[in-house]
Amino acid sequence: MMKPDDFEFVSRLIKSKSGLVLSQDKTYLLESRLMPIARKRGLKDLTELIGALRGGDRNLVEEVVDAMTTNESFFFRDTKPFDQFRHVVLPHMIKARAPKKHLRIWCAAASSGQEPYSLAMILDEFKSQLAGWRIDIVGTDISREILTKARAGLYSQFEVQRGLPIGLLVKYFQKKEDQWQISADIRGKVQYKEFNLLEDFRPLGQFDVVYCRNVLIYFDQPTKSDVLSRISALMPDDGFLFLGGAETVLGISDKFKPLARQRGIYQLNRPGAPDVDLTALEKVQAGAAAGAAAGGAAGAAAPGGLAFPKPKHMQTGAGTTTGTAARPAAGTTGTTGTATTRPGTSSFGTQSTQRPLGGTTSSTTRPTTGTGTTGSAFSRPSGSTGTGSTTRPGTTGTTGSSGTAGSTYRRPLGTGTGTGAGAGGTTQRPGTGSSNTSGSNGTTRPSTTFDRSRFGKPDDKK
């Protein structure tokens, strides 16, 4: 267990080196991240590790800071920032930068490279419009180890399945043993640098677009304000800043202002900030919202089409299935033909619910199913005499319909006996005047209502 003064020392050290703020309730996180370092270095416990840190071991300090930074990233993360880039930022830049044909993009805290590579793939889709352009994508991170992974462009099956459209996987990646490697052409579009956001930004140069997503949440208020101020100094009047969904400039910095009706994208709060056309973006967003609301006949694609299509079994639409859910109607004579179909609400295909409609006798027989299907069906046991039927209290002489050929789900009822010509597996609920015409091996479930006809009148009523 880490001592309070050791925690204070380490948390101050990490904040001074990375800006990361660790509150007292993060002690468990600190311990879990530092113990593997202690074991790797052959140290007995965290006390020895912290002693080495106090002694000024610079390599150990770097290792500890690296272990405490979060390296969570995936391709086209959150989708919206990439749709905004595709439909707003890029069209503006293609027009505004046409004279010099030069565009610079900075991905701060780039982690393992998925964000800059996602942008590089989008830019490659526009290569006919960007012919002759010089485009610089710079990815920076404080972690030397994670930048090594980013440069290699090697990702596991799990990593490529997180947000990467299948079409782009096929187009830009090659299988390499049990991993996927992004093409050399896309890797060549991104330059990686080890960089700390607490350092001076000016050596990096000017950037037209800056992605600094899911970084500020780890900083305190003064550090957030300072970082935003220094980012603004790197950008031209018509530059764009992207922050994470849980981040904002409001109440932190007056250097930026939100883009109208959009979340996560900001313009510089300067007179030269342009009015940009949001029409194409809003059409895409409206289409995605409508597709999501309708369920999507072929699987609602993410805005801009950047998503895997849903598997066929999850697509909804008209058609037939091999398994229907049947809910028989009460008060029928058990006909097997006429039925009304009510589409099911499941998102896993075209399941339907059938309610067979039958005759007009006064019985309360509910046949198990109408015309059966070949697949598995969910049936509530309700019919009378017949294969897989159930009798509910009612008049005598009721007949049930034939059950489905496929397997059915039946709720076990009570126990009892029954005789008749029907097949086994029937269930009866006794009631007024009901006849025990069910097949052998039937089960009986006592009625849940009080039946006075089974008892004599009280003496004072005779």
Q: What is the pTM of this model?
A: 0.63
187-224 pLDDT per residue, tens = 999 999 999 999 999 999 999 999 999 999 999 999 99
Identity of the residue numbered 330: A
- Do 117 and 40 reside in the same domain of the chain? no
pLDDT band, residue 71 (cuts 50/70/90): confident
- Do 226 and 141 reside in the same domain of the chain? yes
pLDDT band, residue 3 (cuts 50/70/90): confident
Residues 6+ apart with CB under 8 A from 55: none
What integer pLDDT is reported at residue 458 of this predicted model?
52
- Do 55 and 114 reside in the same domain of the chain? no
Residue 125 lies in a domain: yes
380-399 pLDDT per residue, tens = 444 444 444 444 444 444 44
343-367 pLDDT per residue, tens = 444 333 333 334 444 444 344 444 4
Q: How far is CA 236 from the centre of its chain?
A: 36
- Do 63 and 101 reside in the same domain of the chain? no
Decide which of 68, 101, 120 is a domain's last residue: 68
The domain that holds 63 is classified in CATH as 1.10.155
- Do 162 and 30 reside in the same domain of the chain? no
What integer pLDDT is reported at residue 441 of this predicted model?
45
- The region of weakest confidence among 117-121, 182-186, 289-293, 381-385 is 381-385
Q: How many domains does the chain have?
A: 3
Quote the CA–CA distance of 331 and 299 in Å, as a whole number. Answer: 40
- Do 158 and 16 reside in the same domain of the chain? no
What integer pLDDT is reported at residue 192 of this predicted model?
98
- Do 118 and 243 reside in the same domain of the chain? yes
Decide which of 40, 68, 96 is a domain's last residue: 68
Q: How far is CA 240 from the centre of its chain?
A: 27
What integer pLDDT is reported at residue 290 of this predicted model?
85
- Do 99 and 213 reside in the same domain of the chain? yes
Helix (H), strand (E), coil (C) string for the chain? CCCHHHHHHHHHHHHHHHCCCCCHHHHHHHHHHHHHHHHHCCCCCHHHHHHHHHCCCHHHHHHHHHHHCCCCCCCCCCCHHHHHHHHHHHHHHHHHCCCCCEEEEEECCCCCCHHHHHHHHHHHHCCCCCCCCEEEEEEEECCHHHHHHHHHCEEEHHHHHCCCCHHHHHHHEEEECCEEEECHHHHCCEEEEECCCCCCCHHHCCCCEEECCCCHHHCCHHHHHHHHHHHHCCCCCCCEEECCCCCCCCCCCCCEEECCCCCCEEEECCCCCCCCCCHHHHHHHHHHHHHHHHCCCCCCCCHHHCCCCCCHHHCCCCCCCCCCEECCCCCCCCCCCCEEEEECCCCCCCCEEEEECCCCCCCCCCCCCCCCCCCCEEECCCCCCCCCCEECCCCCCCCCCCCCCCCEECCCCCCCCCCCCCCCCCEECCCCCCCCCCCCCCEECCCCCCCHHHCCCCHHHC
Residue 155 lies in a domain: yes
Tell me the percentage of the chain whose pLDDT exceeds 90. 48
The domain that holds 198 is classified in CATH as 3.40.50.150
Residue 145 lies in a domain: yes
- Do 323 and 422 reside in the same domain of the chain? yes
- Do 188 and 46 reside in the same domain of the chain? no
Identity of the residue numbered 325: A
pLDDT score of 287 more than 60: yes
Residue 282 lies in a domain: no
- The average pLDDT across 68-92 equals 92
16-67 pLDDT per residue, tens = 999 989 888 888 888 898 999 999 999 988 989 999 999 888 889 989 988 8
Residue 412 lies in a domain: yes
What integer pLDDT is reported at residue 45 of this predicted model?
87
Decide which of 14, 43, 68 is a domain's last residue: 68
Residue 160 lies in a domain: yes
- Do 323 and 433 reside in the same domain of the chain? yes
> Could you count the other beta carbons within 10 Å of the beta carbon of residue 196?
13
Query: How confident is the prediction for the chain on average, in pLDDT?
Result: 75
Residue 363 lies in a domain: no
- Do 116 and 178 reside in the same domain of the chain? yes
Closest CA to 46 of 2, 7, 9, 12: 2
What integer pLDDT is reported at residue 223 of this predicted model?
96
Residue 384 lies in a domain: yes
Q: Provide the residue range defining the domain that includes 27.
A: 4-68
**Integer angstrom CA distances of residue 220 from 19, 217, 224:** 8, 8, 6
What integer pLDDT is reported at residue 176 of this predicted model?
94
